[in-house]
Amino acid sequence: AQSVTQLGSHVSVSEGALVLLRCNYSSSVPPYLFWYVQYPNQGLQLLLKYTTGATLVKGINGFEAEFKKSETSFHLTKPSAHMSDAAEYFCAVTSNFGNEKLTFGTGTRLTIIP
């Protein structure tokens, strides 16, 4: 079974500051990892994903994440926060390529301070 733990249910950063959202995973097989974003009153949207290959993956809206096997982590970062980044972010894991279900973390609500 796989699981993800998101540290910090709420994170606040100033506009222009670094965004760091933490995610640690647990998986007995090589994981595939994802970050999804949920804007108010909307469904979830894929930000980025790691399946195989390069461990630093870039996503939409300037976000990136690095897969660190030794630390079982997949933290999400963005160098400079923008007001439009305010949303809820979910880390997710699956262990198979294809149409297998994702297991989501509990989410981190990101607030941007003007």
Interface residues toward another protein, by CB under 8 A:
32, 34, 36, 41-46, 49, 51, 90, 92, 94, 97-107
- Longest CA pairwise span in the chain (Å): 42
Amino acid in position 26: S
65 vs 81, beta carbon nearer another protein? 65
53 vs 114, beta carbon nearer another protein? 53
CB distance 67 to 33 below 8 Å: yes
Instruction: State the minimum distance, in angstroms, from the CB of residue 34 to another protein.
Output: 6
Rounded Cα distance between 40 and 4, Å, is: 23
Residue that the structure tokens 């950063």 belong to:
13
Strands 87-94 and 108-113: antiparallel
Instruction: State the minimum distance, in angstroms, from the CB of residue 5 to another protein.
Output: 12
Instruction: State the minimum distance, in angstroms, from the CB of residue 105 to another protein.
Output: 8
15 vs 100, beta carbon nearer another protein? 100
